Structure formats: structure tokens, C-alpha cells
Structure 1
Amino acid sequence: MLRPAYAAQPVASPGERARVLLAAGALHLVLLAALIGPLWLASRSAGVLPAPDAEAGSLAASPLAFLVIAPLLEELVFRGWLTGRVAALRFAACGFAALALMLAGVALVPDHGRALAWAGAGVALAGLVHWSLTREREHARTVPPAYIRHFGGIVWAQALLFGAIHLGNYADLASPLGLAVVLPQVLGGLLLAFIRTRAGLAAGMAYHAGYNALVLAGGYLLA
């Protein structure tokens, strides 16, 4: 997890994929209990973590978003391209461009937020169509050597960006220490990258949905 290594293909058998998921899940639980959880709770008790800022009853706060939309879209945008193939990297460029348009509509020009959201959706759809039409071409299946060489840094970058994007779920930071609020997402980004490259994209989506289901259930029990 700390030094990600490139894997050309996920493991083949269902048993091997299950072992990948079990290993990732066990490590996830240990790190949450021994490291991330105590840091997060200490920061919360010190009053430096921002409060959640999801509007009650909105789509973003709904079980549909937690269990279906987020696992599908976030895994596609943040880790679907980790194979490093040219076609996948082109799709990633479209995905991040779409994300930038949507964020601009929320943070920079809210008066045009709906138009920018639709523009972002169009860019993402165009990228998906282009990927589906070109992914079997010989050139599109190649992996740039620079991608393999810098794979570890790429995985860390997507994990940090994955954490940063979740800051939008919270009120404005009162202190730089408030960044600790997204430590669980950064950890998840690293582990989900491992799952995606070793067990496949569908396994990553399933793990993401399962984790979100546990978080959602815990929130209901503590409410």
C-alpha cells in the first residue's frame, strides 16, 4: 500500500480475488482501529474537524448515492484507468475534465452550476463512448513506460485527490488540522487501488459499496 507496484493483469481465479478482498478488508480494519480512527476521534474532540455539510433529504445524502452512485462513478473516475492502457488514460482525462467542470459549477460559478454539471456529464459520456470504441485497438492496449515507472506516485496522487474531493462533504475548514477529516478516504483510495489492480474494477466497486453500507449502517445505529 505504501509503495504500490504495477500489475499488468488482475488475478485470474475467483478464489484469488476473494483473498485479495479479504486481505484488503483485514488491513483496512486494522488501520482504521489502530491509526486512522484514533487520529480522527482526537481531532474531532479537539474541535478541529469540520461538521458534515450534506443537506438532509438531498440525493448526495441518500442511500442511493452511498451504495450505488458513489461506488460506480468514483471507481470509474479515480481508479478505472489504473491499468495504464492508453485508451483508459484517455478516458481518465475525460473523467477528470468532467469532474473539474462539475466542481467549477459548485464552487466558482454557482449561477451556472446546472449548465456546467450537464457539460461535465456530456464530457464523461463522450469519454466513455470513445473508450468503448477504441479500447481493443493495438495501440490503445499499450501501457506507456513512464506510467509503469511512476505508478507508485500516480496511485498516491489519486488517493490524495480522492480524499480532497470529499472535503466538499464538510463545512469550511477552521484549521489545517481539519484535513484529518478525509484520512479515511485517503486510506480507502490506496486500498481500492490495490483491489482494482489485483482483483479488477468490479471487485473495487463491490468493496466500495460494502464499506459505504457499513458506514451508513453505523450512522443509523449511532443516530
Structure 2
Amino acid sequence: MGVKVAWPSFSTELRDFIAFIRRPNLRRLPGRSARRGWLEDWFTHLDFARLLKWAGLLWLMNMVVLGPIAVAAAGAGGAEHRLRLDALPWLQALVWAPIVEELVFRYGLRMPGHALWLVPVSVFALLSGPQWGSAFLVGLVVLACWWPYLFRSSAAPKPLPWGLRKTYRRYFGVVVHLSCLLFAAVHLGNFSYNETPLWLLPFLVLPQWVTGLALAWLRVRRGIGAAMVLHGIFNGGPLLVIWLVISWLPPQ
């Protein structure tokens, strides 16, 4: 029997996350191995209790610090959120965005070779939106990621040449922070700007930037599956609050 490895405490993970922001690295959490990398990357380490703690921390940061800054920036510049209260995007927030955005911005952090073909296809799906055609395309992308492992195919991805891997590790921090900035920038499309000055725009997406950092850390340490699940939980919390408020309001 193998020795059961205890997962780090939440406080230990939090300290590691802060260190990761300062200097990103490709280290896994204790308990993750490279031998069953595909299975662990997608399915194994889905600790829902721990993911709820991370979601709670991100919600708290957004309510207390980041959200008020974003609201103040929107008010100062006249920007308005495009969210329609009469048509809350449940499917897009809970399923589509967690899968597609994680494929675009974070899957390649551990699979830079895959990113060369996966990111362009996923970006096309992201820009097309949640339609049947783009959903089918995303399904093909995920199947392509799984295929060599599910069917023992000889087309299993080969590791990058050693020289490229060394270069990637050297600039990994740049890749991580650039991916988080791009992730935040994409969410600028959620706003109507009116006459908002350009210097205010970064403040509108501070919550998405910090969330992107947490998701990048989680993707590297636990896997892409955990990042997708946390992404969905994080998106679902505010929508649930909005739905409850609307439900409790007296009819006009």
C-alpha cells in the first residue's frame, strides 16, 4: 500500500499562493505526482471543501476591497455593467466560462506544447460565444487533450525539447502574470464605457485580475480540473445572491 500524503492546510496554501504571486513556479502540491499526471490534472484533486474556502476568500476580498474599488471606478467614469437582471447567464457563468476561459488562459501553463494548438482554437470558441458550433468545438478540444490517455494512443504528446523547457521555466513568471492580465482585460467587454477615461479601465477588472492569479496558482498546484471547478463556484456565488435578491423583491 502507498503512503497516504496529507494535503497542506488552507493557511499553508495561502502562504504558498502569496509566494507564487511574487515568484511563480511549476511546483506541485505535496500529494500530486507526475506519473498519473493526466488523471490528476483533470479529476483527482477536486477537494470541494477546500475549493469552497478559496471561493469564500475571493468573495470576501471582492466585497470588502476589490469590488468597492471597481464600483467607484465605474461610477467615476460612467461605465455600466452589461449584466441583465432579467436574464441571468447561469449556463455561461457556471459551465461555459469555467471551461473555455481555463482552456484559453491557464491550461497551457503546465502544457505549453499543447498551448500552441489549443489556445488559438479555444480563443475562437471564446470569441464565438456559447453557441452549438463553438460548444462542439470545445468538446473536440477536450477530447483531443484526453485522447492519447483514454485510448493509449501513440499520439501521446512528447515533452518539449530540453532547451525550450529551460527557457519556459525561466520566463514562467512572465507567462503567468501576462495570462492573468489578459484574463482581466477580456472582462472589460462586460462593460459599456460611455466616456470612461482609459486610466480607469484597469480598476474595473481588479476582481478578475486577482481571481485569475488564484486560478493560475490552483491550476499549477492542483490541476486544471480544480481550476475549472473553482471558477464555476466563484461565478455562481454572485449570481445566486442577485437571484435571491430579485426573488425576494416585491413585484412592481
CA distance 1:138–1:31, change in 2 (3 Å):
same
Distance in 1 (alpha carbons) for counterparts of 2:116 and 2:126: 16
Partner residue of 2:231?
208
CA displacement at 1:124 relative to structure 2: 6.1
Q: Which has the larger helix fraction?
A: 1
Does structure 1 residue 156 correspond to structure 2 residue 177?
yes
Partner residue of 1:106?
none
Partner residue of 1:62?
89
SS in 2 for 1:174: coil
Partner residue of 1:28?
58
- Aligned with residue 78 of structure 1, among 105, 109, 131: 105
Give a deviation string over 1:50-95, Cα, whole Å, max 9, x none. Answer: 212246776xx42111111111111111111110441344322443
CA displacement at 1:200 relative to structure 2: 0.6
Does structure 1 residue 38 correspond to structure 2 residue 57?
no
Larger radius of gyration: 2
Which stretch shifts more, 161-170 or 31-40?
A: 31-40
Q: TM-score, normalised by structure 1?
A: 0.72
- Aligned with residue 172 of structure 1, among 180, 183, 193: 193
**Is the 8 Å Cα contact of residues 50 and 172 (structure 1) preserved in structure 2?**
yes
Aligned CA RMSD, in angstroms, stands at: 3.7
Q: TM-score, normalised by structure 2?
A: 0.65
Q: What percent identity do the matched residue pairs reach?
A: 27
Distance in 1 (alpha carbons) for counterparts of 2:22 and 2:52: 20
Structure 2: gaps of 5 or more residues: 1-17, 33-43, 149-154, 247-252
- Aligned with residue 91 of structure 1, among 115, 118, 136: 118
Distance in 2 (alpha carbons) for counterparts of 1:163 and 1:126: 26
Does structure 1 residue 51 correspond to structure 2 residue 101?
no
**Is the 8 Å Cα contact of residues 80 and 191 (structure 2) preserved in structure 1?**
yes
Distance in 2 (alpha carbons) for counterparts of 1:26 and 1:162: 21
Partner residue of 1:196?
219
SS in 2 for 1:81: helix
**Is the 8 Å Cα contact of residues 59 and 234 (structure 2) preserved in structure 1?**
no
Residue type at the aligned position of 1:28: L
Residue type at the aligned position of 1:65: Q
